[in-house]
Amino acid sequence: LLDIGMPLLDGYEVARRIRAQAWGKRITLVALTGWGQDSDRRRSREAGFDSHLVKPLDLAKLTELLARLPASAGAADEIPGRQLNS
């Protein structure tokens, strides 16, 4: 779950960097943002996000989304402990 509007390195760039890693293709990425237009959702997909949630966050939608994920999606033990610097 990545906030799009982070300072210095926005969520789109974080998603791109994650997807560029071999292990990053097995992780489910969800964008969290205050922007909910079709163009915003498209930009999220293009950056590599699997889903796009709009703030204020609807807890029922988040719960439904999490319930649909495979049990192994983004398992923490598969992710190497290092920064995503270029």
Residue 7, domain CATH: 3.40.50.2300
Q: Is residue 83 part of a domain?
A: no
Binned at pLDDT 50, 70 and 90, residue 46 comes out as very high
Number of domains in the chain: 1
pTM of the predicted structure, to 2 decimals: 0.77
The most distant pair of C-alpha atoms in the chain lies apart, rounded to whole Å, by 36
Residue 56 domain-assigned (yes or no):
yes
pLDDT at 84: 56
What pLDDT is stored for residue 7 in this prediction? Answer: 87
Is the pLDDT assigned to residue 25 strictly greater than 60? yes
SS3 32: strand
pLDDT band for position 80 (cuts 50, 70, 90)? low
pLDDT score, position 69:
82
Count Cβ atoms below 10 Å from residue 48 Cβ, excluding itself: 19
Query: pLDDT digit string (tens) for 56-72?
Result: 998 998 999 889 887 65
* Domain range for 55: 2-68
In a domain, 63, yes or no: yes
* 86 domain-assigned: no
Asked if residue 51 is part of any domain, the answer here is yes
Does residue 84 form part of some domain? no
78 domain residue, yes or no: no
